[in-house]
Structure 1
Amino acid sequence: MDIAFLELSATALGIAIAVTLFAGFVKGAVGFAMPMIMISAFSSFLPPEIALSGLILPTLVTNLGQAFRDGLSAFIASLRKYWRFMTATIIFIAISAQFVRDIPQDLFLALLGVPITLYAILQLMGRSLAIRLQHQTRAEWVLGVIAGLYGGVSGVWGPPLIVYLMSIGVEKREMLRVQGVIFLIGAVILLAAHLNSGVMTGANTAFSALLVIPAIAGMAIGLRAGQHLDQVRFRWWTQVLLVLTGLNLLRRAIGL
């Protein structure tokens, strides 16, 4: 049976809902990795445009709560403190999003698979993502540009942000809030950019809106579970999953 207005089978839609529920759970428990999980899994059974559109609205909605978790004043303070990273990310999401339809699917899969796999493997090896920043301002701009370039075509811009925050020694609670703030701003720009690029058509937007429900449900469960889970082990299993999904993307990119 097909879901006519989405041009998806009921099986594909069911899998997408299950993936989104899990991704929301992970975000609620550890604060990140939702778009990486969604785009990695979606790209295994959905066309690139549908895969990308599916994560846009769930990412936008779930980041609202994370961004404002400490109140409006903390949200504004984060905007002021990290405005360089946000500016670079916003500009380059808007630019790179316009080229998403021009990227061949094999290249698209490789661009996703390589950084996601490397990021997860480094985490599993216990390697710190922190880097020595001799020029913090320059690093903030450069990593913001990288985040935006990847964000516009894939919806994933978290790893460069996490690298930057770890490199400047941000404490855990602030890191979670700043991730939410920047993810939220980026999600708004990503939505606007793909309304303009044509990716967020009526059917794709309906698909994305439908996935908001399991995303919120998963995040709510993850927030509660995160209070009791061993965060180290849970993150380990999350990184294992990302390695497997990243390798699967690379397998598909080279035609195996």
Structure 2
Amino acid sequence: MDTLFPLLSPSELVIAAMIAVIAGFVKGVVGFAMPLVFVSGLTTFMSAELALAGLILPTLITNVQQALRQGVHAAVQSTVAFKIFLGVGCVALLTTAQLVRIFPDQLMMAVIGVPVTFFAALQLAGYQIILPRRSTVVEVAAGAVAGGLGGISGIWGPPTVAYLTALNTPKQDQMRVQGVIYGLGAVALLVAHVASGVLRADTIAFSVAMVLPAFIGVRLGMRVMDRIDQVMFRRATLCVLLVAGLNLVRRAAFG
């Protein structure tokens, strides 16, 4: 155990696996927020850098699972439809990933938590931002913000969800599009953090260990998602964003 996981005790590894199941379940229900739950939970007893390393492989595997749930053809269509968002986001992610090792943990949490909390609270209060049509300018901006946050923290869900929600994307389409976007982003994240040094010999075993618990959680969450309607799906999505955002703000303020 000590050889495989030199940075964690056995009890910490068990707790991390439980958090991975919960994070996967939330993702299975609403299509995102696994990195948010991962980072929020794991950083209560480990560094943000190690938490980021731990979520890289589970994020990649579960997003491939989500993207391909309706088949390869549907996933390819989603990729083509959101090619601008994906391209801009990938460039932003690869650029900002190199800042991880010099970016203070609490500042990282504040950068994610404050806008997440604001967006979710605004939406739950009944204020909805609806885009009547696709705009290249908005798509570029959303991709840049999502990719930038993803490179620094491994969390690019909130800007992506905000954009898809503003487009009034149907539930199943939104789940698949999120899987495609986050899956391709996860590949970029993997490459970026091999280069940044976050994913290395003493952290990759932890990331591998988190794959199975996260996968199980996603499978359970998908069963729940299939049984809820569009309105409940939207509210569940926003509630998850609000709780995760508030927790990150708390961690940023109090450590």
Same fold (TM over 0.5): yes
Give the secondary-structure state (helix, strand or coil) at the position aligned to 2:45.
Answer: coil
State the one-letter code of the partner of 1:32.
F
Q: Report if the CA contact (8 A) 1:68-1:75 is conserved.
A: yes
State how 1:172-191 maps to structure 2 within 5 Å: 172-191=171-190
* Pair 1:226–1:78, CA change in 2 (3 A): closer
| Range with greater deviation from structure 2 (242-251 or 79-88) | 242-251
Please give the per-residue CA displacement for 1:144-187, whole angstroms capped at 9, x wherever unaligned. Answer: 00000000011111122222222233222221111110010000
Query: Per-residue deviation at 1:236?
Result: 5.2
* Pair 1:132–1:76, CA change in 2 (3 A): closer
Matches of 2:182 and 2:132 in 1, distance apart? Answer: 23
Query: Per-residue deviation at 1:6?
Result: 3.3
The CA RMSD over aligned residues, in Å, is: 2.5
Query: Per-residue deviation at 1:48?
Result: 1.2
Matches of 1:74 and 1:234 in 2, distance apart? Answer: 21
Show the counterpart of 2:20: 20
State how 1:75-154 maps to structure 2 within 5 Å: 75-128=75-128, 130-132=129-131, 136-154=135-153
Show the counterpart of 1:64: 64
Please give the per-residue CA displacement for 1:55-91, whole angstroms capped at 9, x wherever unaligned. Answer: 1111100011111122222222112111000001100
Q: Report if the CA contact (8 A) 2:170-2:230 is conserved.
A: no
Matches of 2:14 and 2:236 in 1, distance apart? Answer: 23
Q: Report if the CA contact (8 A) 1:28-1:223 is conserved.
A: yes
Matches of 2:154 and 2:169 in 1, distance apart? Answer: 24
Query: Per-residue deviation at 1:101?
Result: 0.6
Q: Report if the CA contact (8 A) 1:56-1:208 is conserved.
A: yes
Q: Report if the CA contact (8 A) 1:3-1:10 is conserved.
A: no
| Range with greater deviation from structure 2 (19-28 or 30-39) | 30-39
Please give the per-residue CA displacement for 1:193-240, whole angstroms capped at 9, x wherever unaligned. Answer: 000000001121111110001011111111223334577668756755
2:53 is aligned with 1:53: yes
* Pair 1:135–1:72, CA change in 2 (3 A): closer
Q: Report if the CA contact (8 A) 1:17-1:214 is conserved.
A: yes
Please give the per-residue CA displacement for 1:108-128, whole angstroms capped at 9, x wherever unaligned. Answer: 221232123223323443443
Paired residue total: 255
Give unmatched runs, 5+ long, in structure 2: none
Query: Per-residue deviation at 1:30?
Result: 2.2
2:161 is aligned with 1:162: yes
Give the secondary-structure state (helix, strand or coil) at the position aligned to 1:6.
Answer: coil
Q: Report if the CA contact (8 A) 2:30-2:236 is conserved.
A: no
Show the counterpart of 1:7: 7
Task: State the identity %.
Answer: 44
Q: When the two structures are superposed, what TM-score results if normalisation uses the length of structure 1?
A: 0.88
| Range with greater deviation from structure 2 (224-233 or 144-153) | 224-233
Q: Report if the CA contact (8 A) 2:91-2:147 is conserved.
A: yes
* Pair 1:4–1:177, CA change in 2 (3 A): closer
